[in-house]
Amino acid sequence: MKTTDRVALNDWYAIATASEVTAQPVTTRLLGQDIEYRLSESGAPLVREILDDGARGPVLPVQVRYGCLFTSLGTPVKDIVHIEEAEEEDRRFVPCGWVTMRASGLRVVENFLDMAHFPFVHTDILGSEPHTEVPTYQSEIRRDVDEVWATNCTFFQPRIAATEDKGDFVHLTYRVPSPFVVMLYRVCPTSPNRLDAIALFIQPMEEGLCRAQPVMYLVDSVSSHKALLNFEQVIFLQDRIIVENQRPLLLPLEPRAEIPTRADSSSIAYRRWLKEKGVRFGTTAGAA
């Protein structure tokens, strides 16, 4: 059943890899609602709701950006996130493919923001013992743009990117431009004055089911496409095990529902921001 959560409905969501959309209709689900996407006779992408009786419902808004087909079930109040790095011609564009997870999309965002799990979940890749401490960083809700940012993040990583096989402290910035989109900017190991940009686009299907695709804009002229993909996919499959095993399955927004530590300040800002917005889909408050 389609959610009644107006905030969730009035947002854009990536629902497919644009290059994989053909004239053959594909049914998928967004916010509890069945939808269908395909190329129309004119070759333009077309997304429609599928009504309860199987008939095709209203045509939904579409945009193609960052290699993905985006749609909305409502009236978007904000455009899809602007990623400046996507416009730089020397960047490698790496869409990493969709991973389906039995988890709330909001949990997936929160896991993406979390550095404390690196040594334990991505052992010897994004973290390693004894380097388990998360150095102090800053988190804020940026009111002018209505986004959550975490800045001055550093963490010791044994292998910080596909190009690197030595450990070092990486410098990271996190950005949450909308409830189901999260980004990471990482100082590029081969070009320290530039930032690699990684966006994670989440398609919330049901409250406790989602798909997500990492899309990377990298300054890396060395690694093969396959090496870049493998690096990201290994990490993402490790994360899937974690988010699918978190309880409660849905994200609690009430303060003190889970005991935070200093390392969780980005997650605290994210939950506060979701609560202020009135997001219910994928939270323990429920939105069916």
**Distances, alpha carbon 17 to alpha carbons 13, 63, 132, 154, in Å:** 12, 12, 36, 32
Q: Does 196 bind Fe ion (CB under 5 A)?
A: no
CB of 120 to Fe ion, least distance (A): 10
**Distances, alpha carbon 190 to alpha carbons 160, 166, 186, in Å:** 11, 13, 11
CB of 235 to Fe ion, least distance (A): 6
The footprint of Fe ion on residues 88-127 (CB under 5 A) is none
CB of 113 to Fe ion, least distance (A): 10
Q: Which of 209, 181, 206, 208 is nearest to 70 (CA)?
A: 181
Tell me whether residue 5 or residue 239 sits nearer to Fe ion (CB atom).
239
Tell me whether residue 11 or residue 114 sits nearer to Fe ion (CB atom).
114
CB of 122 to Fe ion, least distance (A): 6
CB of 4 to Fe ion, least distance (A): 32
Q: Which long-range contacts (CB under 8 A, 24 or more apart) does 185-191 make?
A: 186/160, 186/161, 188/161, 188/218, 188/219, 188/220, 189/160, 189/161, 189/163, 189/164, 190/163, 190/219, 190/220, 190/221, 190/222, 191/219
Tell me whether residue 9 or residue 101 sits nearer to Fe ion (CB atom).
101
CB of 52 to Fe ion, least distance (A): 38
The footprint of Fe ion on residues 232-251 (CB under 5 A) is 239
What is d(CA 254, CA 252) in angstroms, rounded to the nearest whole number? 6
Q: Is the CB of residue 73 less than 8 Å from the CB of residue 60?
A: yes
Place of tokens 């102090």: 136
Q: Is the CB of residue 75 less than 8 Å from the CB of residue 24?
A: no
Tell me whether residue 23 or residue 234 sits nearer to Fe ion (CB atom).
234
Tell me whether residue 159 or residue 280 sits nearer to Fe ion (CB atom).
159
Q: How many residues bind Fe ion (CB under 5 A)?
A: 1
Tell me whether residue 37 or residue 137 sits nearer to Fe ion (CB atom).
137
Chain residues in the site for Fe ion (CB under 5 A) = 239
